[in-house]
Amino acid sequence: MVPLKQKGQVCLSACKTYAFEEVHAALREQLDALHVEELLFPGCRVVIKPNLVIRSKPEEGVITHPAVVAAVAVELLERGAGHVTVAESPGGPYTPPLLRAIYEAGGYTELAQTYGFSLNFDCSYGSLEAPQGQRCKRFDVIQPVLEADLLVDIAKLKTHGMMGLSAAVKNLFGCVPGLMKPELHCRFPEREAFGEMVADLCCALKPALCVVDGIVGMEGNGPTGGKPRLVGALAASRDPFALDMVCASLIHQDPMHVPYLRAGMKRGVCPESLDELSLWGVPVQSLAVSDFIQPESCSVNFLDWLPKFLRPLAEKVATPVPKIQTNHCVGCGKCAESCPQHTIRIAGGHAVIDYRKCIRCYCCHEMCPKHVIDIKRFRLFRF
């Protein structure tokens, strides 16, 4: 195959299992095509940012599978990286005990020892300026990312209750430390504004290499409450927006309905169609899943046809809300802890939501360890 240029190029490979040899072989070819060795230099400090949003086992389809991270780490070390560290700030408090539990549950601890990469336990953070940001000019970001010579973004292909899609660009929101994430949800409660903020963060972080684990994705009410779905895809690029355009097509989403991609298009950092990309590997349509289940919280398109004066009321009625399965809620308080508006309290042994203040960010749904918070649409708008 012909080697690719640097930006706007996406590699897509078929990969049906997480057998390390198969994953490694596919990624080696992709990194060859992307000329990743150009990014490395002796002693280069690489930080890999996976998706480890909550404590979860790899087979549940919530987190980036450790085999994908290990294969990328091995390739980077063999190509000259001086040190490779996996760093993540999951939902909830940003503490070493939580990181240790998440790494262990996800299979990262064992593979780090086997393949020679490190796991971060430094929970300090610093400031990242975003002078070109349109919504946000400064972010608090975990310290390992700030100190890295090279940031590698390894995401999981999932639906997302608020953004529609979670892939390379959205994964970088995990660089914001712990409970500072809900603060940004509170500052930017609307989907459009939040998408623009996520685009600002991605442009400020400038990941040098992005990989998406789409071998098993998550459909339905992702990013944590959906169901695993075999897609059989590994994708890589040096351009996160271009990569996510391919990811949207893989799970049958219109990129124009993904707020952060739409924001990227407006500012000229995201291609407007696949026709603008140079694709390496298998055709996108050969792996695309036409019946991929979308999140219930996807926007209702008919609102665009209503008179403007009716849209605010219609949107309020049509926007799905988080609904707690009170019979199954154990009252652990994780939802209340993650709620940016502090609208959730524990009463009678289970969580209760004050919908008058709910901003529909779905953080509670995302962080519930028991997956007993559903996203419910008003019955008239269920299609």
Q: Kindly tell me if the per-residue pLDDT of 348 is higher than 50.
A: yes
Contacts of 170 (CB under 8 A, 6+ apart): 155, 160, 163, 198, 244, 260
The answer to whether the CB of 128 falls within 8 A of the CB of 148 is no
170/74 Cα distance (integer angstroms): 25
Nearest partner of 41 among 85, 86, 83, judged by Cα: 83
Q: Do 153 and 52 belong to one domain?
A: yes
Q: Do 274 and 325 belong to one domain?
A: no
Q: For the segment 220-233, what is each residue's pLDDT rounded down to a tens digit?
A: 999 999 999 999 99
Q: Kindly tell me if the per-residue pLDDT of 305 is higher than 60.
A: no
Percent of the chain surpassing pLDDT 90: 82
Q: Do 123 and 207 belong to one domain?
A: yes
Q: What is the pLDDT of residue 354?
A: 94
Q: Do 271 and 213 belong to one domain?
A: yes
Q: Do 254 and 371 belong to one domain?
A: no
Helices 66-78 and 20-33: angle between axes, nearest 10 degrees: 50
Q: What is the pLDDT of residue 316?
A: 60
Q: For the segment 261-282, what is each residue's pLDDT rounded down to a tens digit?
A: 999 999 999 999 999 999 999 9
Average model confidence (pLDDT) across the chain: 91
For residues 141-166, give the mean pLDDT: 97
For residues 75-104, give the mean pLDDT: 96
From 286, 308, 340, give the residue that closes a domain.
286
**Farthest-apart Cα atoms in the chain, separation:** 63
Q: What is the pLDDT of residue 359?
A: 87
Q: Do 229 and 335 belong to one domain?
A: no
The answer to whether the CB of 262 falls within 8 A of the CB of 245 is no
CATH of the domain at 123: 3.40.50.11440
For residue 184, being part of any structural domain is answered with yes
Beta strands 209-219 and 227-237 are antiparallel
Q: What is the pLDDT of residue 314?
A: 55
268/88 Cα distance (integer angstroms): 29
Contacts of 61 (CB under 8 A, 6+ apart): 156, 158, 216, 217, 218, 226, 227, 228, 229
Q: Do 260 and 368 belong to one domain?
A: no
Q: Do 150 and 250 belong to one domain?
A: yes
Q: Kindly tell me if the per-residue pLDDT of 291 is higher than 70.
A: yes
Q: For the segment 192-219, what is each residue's pLDDT rounded down to a tens digit?
A: 999 999 999 999 999 999 999 999 999 9
For residues 24-29, give the mean pLDDT: 98
From 262, 286, 310, give the residue that closes a domain.
286
CATH of the domain at 339: 3.30.70.3270
Q: What is the pLDDT of residue 183?
A: 87
Q: What is the pLDDT of residue 175?
A: 98
For residue 292, being part of any structural domain is answered with no
Q: What is the pLDDT of residue 43?
A: 95
User: What's the Cα-to-Cα distance from 284 to each of 106, 217, 281, rounded to whole Å?
Assistant: 29, 15, 9
The answer to whether the CB of 90 falls within 8 A of the CB of 54 is yes
Q: Do 263 and 350 belong to one domain?
A: no
Q: What is the pLDDT of residue 105?
A: 98
Q: Find where tokens 């799970």 sit.
A: 251
pTM of the model: 0.85
Distance linking the first and last C-alpha atoms of the chain = 43
Q: Do 249 and 202 belong to one domain?
A: yes
From 271, 286, 301, give the residue that closes a domain.
286
Q: What is the pLDDT of residue 95?
A: 96
Q: Kindly tell me if the per-residue pLDDT of 3 is higher than 80.
A: no
For residues 69-96, give the mean pLDDT: 96
The better pLDDT of the pair 315, 82 is held by: 82
Q: What is the pLDDT of residue 47?
A: 98
Domains in the chain, number? 2
For residue 248, being part of any structural domain is answered with yes
For residue 14, being part of any structural domain is answered with yes
Q: Do 282 and 323 belong to one domain?
A: no
Q: Do 194 and 337 belong to one domain?
A: no
Query: Which residue range(s) make up the domain with 324?
Result: 318-381
Q: Kindly tell me if the per-residue pLDDT of 2 is higher than 50.
A: no
Q: Find where tokens 């539990």 sit.
A: 101
Q: What is the pLDDT of residue 92?
A: 86
